[in-house]
């Protein structure tokens, strides 16, 4: 029975560690483009088997279409250049990607390691064909953290970076990456005039026990997956009216080099796609591997 369990884990690209964590191994090599410095992944709402990925600072403003095994979709007109160029956008520090209920790709330029940025923005892009090669954004959604009063923030409140964005229907949510503590704050972006700076609304806080590097919500909005560098958190709620952090919570400890991208599979609701930036590989992780969370991190 133990051998069968081990073979099952290996088939998912996972191997058990002696203290109960899981080693991400045997992943699928990502295509050129997202292999570089991937920092976000999300499933398409229009094309089965398609996932969109982005790289963080240092890359052009491009989104990369890949399959479930990391393979590329090549544009017919720009076959020599991977990905879809987002005309007019700037990649200062892209850190995640989401799709909302209106079919827009949401690409946040909100990496803020120094806690000093005043130009935090989300590009809203009608989901393009994976073969398009080039597109542009529909609008820019600028936002701010209402609690931040100094730029940069003081060292005892160095908590205004983010690497995680997700949507529920057409609502946009941001999770913070803290350096003064190990919690995360959940914010919602309210509607407002395009190109105006909109203050986020604080929805909750959770002692995540690490630095949040990616997130995704299931299409029905009832499940939320959050990753840190060494743990996956699964939050499940009974209805859209229930706060995520008050529902059922499960966890999975893992070992990898640098995980900053996670999303739910669109082909199997019981599977996650997890990308390791340093290795340039994509892993499949079963939700069956998670365990109930009973104590504070």
**How far, in Å, CA of 128 to CA of 173, rounded?**
22
Residue 18 lies in a domain: no
Predicted structure pTM score: 0.92
The reported pLDDT for the residue numbered 12 is: 46
Q: Is residue 169 part of a domain?
A: yes
Which residue segment(s) compose the domain that 173 sits in?
A: 27-292
Report yes or no on 254 lying in a domain. Answer: yes
With cut-offs at 50, 70 and 90, classify the pLDDT of residue 7: very low
In a domain? residue 164: yes
Residue 284, domain CATH:
2.120.10
Alpha-carbon distance of 250 to 92, in angstroms, equals: 34
In a domain, 217, yes or no: yes
| 168 falls within a domain | yes
Output the pLDDT for position 75: 75
In a domain, 48, yes or no: yes
Through-space distance between the first and last CA atoms of the chain, rounded to whole angstroms: 31
20 inside domain: no
User: Which range is least confidently modeled, 8-12, 134-138, 219-223, 251-255?
Assistant: 8-12
Among 194-198, 206-210, 270-274, the minimum mean pLDDT is found in 194-198
**In this structure, are residues 95 and 53 in contact, taking their beta carbons and an 8 Å threshold?**
no
- The total number of structural domains in the chain stands at 1
């Amino acid at each position: 029975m133990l051998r069968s369990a081990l073979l099952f884990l290996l088939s998912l690209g996972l191997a058990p560690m002696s203290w109960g964590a899981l080693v991400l191994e045997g992943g699928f090599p990502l295509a050129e483009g997202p292999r570089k410095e991937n920092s976000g992944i999300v499933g398409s709402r229009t094309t089965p088997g398609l996932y969109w990925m982005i790289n963080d600072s240092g890359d052009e403003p491009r989104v990369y279409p890949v399959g479930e095994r990391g393979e590329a979709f090549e544009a017919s007109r720009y076959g020599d250049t991977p990905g879809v160029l987002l005309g007019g956008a700037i990649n200062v520090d892209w850190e995640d990607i989401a799709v909302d209920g209106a079919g827009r790709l949401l690409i946040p330029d909100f990496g803020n390691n120094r806690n000093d940025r005043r130009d935090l923005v989300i590009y809203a892009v009608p989901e393009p064909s994976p073969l398009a090669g080039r597109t542009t954004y529909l609008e820019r959604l600028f936002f701010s953290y209402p609690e931040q009063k100094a730029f940069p923030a003081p060292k005892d409140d160095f908590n205004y970076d983010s690497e995680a964005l997700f949507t529920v229907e057409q609502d946009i949510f941001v999770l913070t990456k803290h350096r003064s503590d190990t919690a995360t704050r959940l914010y919602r972006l309210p509607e407002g005039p395009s190109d105006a700076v909109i203050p986020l609304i604080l929805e909750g806080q959770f002692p995540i026990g690490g630095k949040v590097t990616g997130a995704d919500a299931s299409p029905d909005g009832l499940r939320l997956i959050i990753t840190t560098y060494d743990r996956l958190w699964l939050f499940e709620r009974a209805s859209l009216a229930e706060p995520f952090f008050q529902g059922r919570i499960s966890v999975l400890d893992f070992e990898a080099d640098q995980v900053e991208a996670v999303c739910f599979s669109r082909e199997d609701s019981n599977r996650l796609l997890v990308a390791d930036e340093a290795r340039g590989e994509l892993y499949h992780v079963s939700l069956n591997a998670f365990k109930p969370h009973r104590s504070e991190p």
